[in-house]
Structure 1
Amino acid sequence: MTTPESLSARALEVEGVSHAFFTRNGGVSTGLYASLNGGVGSKDAADAVAENRRRMASRLGVEPQRLLVPFQIHSAEVATVDAPFVERPRCDALVTATPGLALGVTGADCGMILFADPVARVVGAAHAGWRGALDGVAEATLDAMERLGARRENIRAALGPAIGPKSYEVGPEFYARFVDAAEAYAVFFTRVGGEKFLFDLPGFLRHRLRAAGVGAYEDLARDAYAEADRFYSYRRSVHRGEPDYGRQISAIALA
């Protein structure tokens, strides 16, 4: 069996916690989805996605049914879990203090953030597209972890592959939405001619988490759009006229 390829963050390399920012390599999917597609919402063969997730769960040291991924809705909603679920909660972040569970989120341009408090032994995973980032999914995840006993100054967070600041072109309505929320957010946009801008989603997430008081933060600085051989990208699939796209999974587990 091919080992699924993954990246790691130094900030999360702590005793009793395993994590992985999986790439698109090391799975069984073919065609557009080659090869480690973890997206049950894609049109990929269900058995291929299940095998890919089984490989990811094995890499994290848990049984497949204990790799938990929510039904993501681009929100700031967080679910606290203590056991495997049958029906996926509709939210964009999960937190737990229960050993033996792996919490994951999917992404194909959106930010995937993993969290750990190694002292309180609380972990979390959040999916942060532009809407969730602006609405506060990262801060909501910190709040939920604190309710389980974590301390904000002890929480370590890391951002996995996401669309980079040179690849995310947006229009004036998008820019206005952020600047209307806070004029200071204009710093995360670079005008590229006319009414077009480049948006720095990783920089925005870094700003929000540091402002929220997270103890340590790391950005892997991998542009999902630009690295087609390593990562899936929704925006790249649209630009290529492809009918669908795969999804990366990023996940974290307590031993």
Structure 2
Amino acid sequence: MLDHRLTSASHIRDGDTVQDPALKADKRLAHAFFTRSGGVSSGLYRGLNAGIGSHDAPKDVHENRRRAVHFLGLDGARLATPWQTHSADAVVATDPSGGERPKADAVVTAVRGLAVGVVTADCGPILFADADAGVVAAAHAGWRGAVGGVLERTVEAMEGLGARRERIEAVLGPCITQPNYEVGSDMAETFLRQSAENARFFAPGASEAKRLFDLPAFILARLERLGLSARFVGRCTYAEEDAFYSFRRTTHRGEPDYGRQLSAIALA
């Protein structure tokens, strides 16, 4: 039998995605951090734009999401994604999110064959799995969500379904990295008020009022403090234009809109 990820019908191949070797090796799971490759969108959205909130043609976004779910070996309707608001809220999904998506920034499930996912364009997508308990999750963490507690709420929701944090693996997918993430010193103060130790995630920017923020390092530190096995795939959305959409790159260029890449995980 042909691997579904290698069939031409999916339009997405292994090389079109970013995958974590350990999660990929676990046959109880199916996951991917999708890139721009393999989609039908055009123009500003060229590629696999999964952003329902973008101004891309809805039929193209729908087809892109169908292809992504097909890559995971599931039916195209088996995907639950939230209406992301940069919050710390996590919800439990038992069926695909249709027209009324829950306002949250993490989705957790113990339902086999249901993919949970988030969309990003610089923020951090984190996929979680306790395969022994049969619980998976996807979280969207920009700096507001990360400092606000979305990672902690995600783990708590997983534990509510029977996961144990010492077994949970967490993988941070492609996001903006420190050399390309300049922020105001006022944002840095928000982190320092929470803990003086957060100073290690900031480097000097182009001026006295600017700092360079290391979002991946901050997310990993929060995950490790929770007692999770955590790692980063090491890819930058801002720097790799051919592979990823980037809100900040779009902003710097004065473009009117941008696409979003999907990150998703399911119990096979």
TM-score in same-fold range (> 0.5):
yes
**Contact 1:15-1:118 within 8 A present in 2 as well:** no
Q: State how 1:236-255 maps to structure 2 within 5 Å.
A: 236-255=249-268
Q: State how 1:112-123 maps to structure 2 within 5 Å.
A: 112-123=125-136
Q: Cα offset for 1:65? A: 1.6
Q: Structure 2 stretches of 5 or more lacking a match? A: 1-8
Q: Cα offset for 1:208? A: 0.3
Is structure 2 residue 84 aligned with structure 1 residue 37? no
Aligned residues: 254
Corresponding letter in the other structure for 1:254: L
Q: Give the 3-state SS of the residue equivalent to 2:166 in structure 1.
A: helix
Specify the alignment match of 1:12 in structure 2: 23
Specify the alignment match of 1:3 in structure 2: 12
Q: Cα offset for 1:56? A: 0.3
Q: Cα offset for 1:84? A: 2.0
Partner Cα distance (1:148, 1:164) in 2:
33
Q: Cα offset for 1:40? A: 0.5
Specify the alignment match of 1:80 in structure 2: 92
Q: Cα offset for 1:11? A: 3.4
**Contact 2:80-2:93 within 8 A present in 1 as well:** no
Specify the alignment match of 2:3 in structure 1: none
- Equivalent pairs: percent with the same residue? 53
Partner Cα distance (2:260, 2:123) in 1:
10
Is structure 2 residue 244 aligned with structure 1 residue 231? yes
Partner Cα distance (1:196, 1:230) in 2:
28
**Contact 1:12-1:157 within 8 A present in 2 as well:** no
Q: State how 1:196-235 maps to structure 2 within 5 Å.
A: 196-214=210-228, 216-235=229-248
**Contact 1:11-1:158 within 8 A present in 2 as well:** no
Is structure 2 residue 143 aligned with structure 1 residue 143? no
Partner Cα distance (1:85, 1:110) in 2:
22
**Contact 1:71-1:88 within 8 A present in 2 as well:** yes
Q: Cα offset for 1:61? A: 1.3
Q: Give the 3-state SS of the residue equivalent to 1:161 in structure 2.
A: coil
* Moved beyond 6 Å, runs of 4+: none
Q: Give the 3-state SS of the residue equivalent to 1:57 in structure 2.
A: helix
1:26-58 Cα distance to aligned partner (Å, 9 max, x none):
100000000100001000000000000010010
Specify the alignment match of 1:191 in structure 2: 204
Specify the alignment match of 1:124 in structure 2: 137
Partner Cα distance (1:99, 1:88) in 2:
20
User: How large is the RMSD of aligned CA atoms in angstroms?
Assistant: 1.0
Q: Cα offset for 1:172? A: 1.3
Partner Cα distance (2:47, 2:21) in 1:
26
1:133-170 Cα distance to aligned partner (Å, 9 max, x none):
00111111111100100000000010001001111000
Partner Cα distance (1:10, 1:143) in 2:
25
Specify the alignment match of 1:50 in structure 2: 62
Partner Cα distance (2:152, 2:48) in 1:
30
Q: Cα offset for 1:85? A: 3.0
**Please, which moves more after superposition, 227-236 or 2-11?**
2-11
Q: Give the 3-state SS of the residue equivalent to 2:180 in structure 1.
A: coil
State which of 152, 165, 169 in structure 1 corresponds to 2:182.
169
**Contact 2:175-2:235 within 8 A present in 1 as well:** yes
Q: Cα offset for 1:72? A: 0.3
**Contact 1:25-1:230 within 8 A present in 2 as well:** yes
Q: Give the 3-state SS of the residue equivalent to 2:235 in structure 1.
A: coil
1:54-99 Cα distance to aligned partner (Å, 9 max, x none):
1001001112221111100100100011122332110000001110
Partner Cα distance (2:124, 2:142) in 1:
6
Specify the alignment match of 1:64 in structure 2: 76
Q: TM-score, normalised by structure 1?
A: 0.97
Corresponding letter in the other structure for 1:170: V
Q: Cα offset for 1:185? A: 0.5
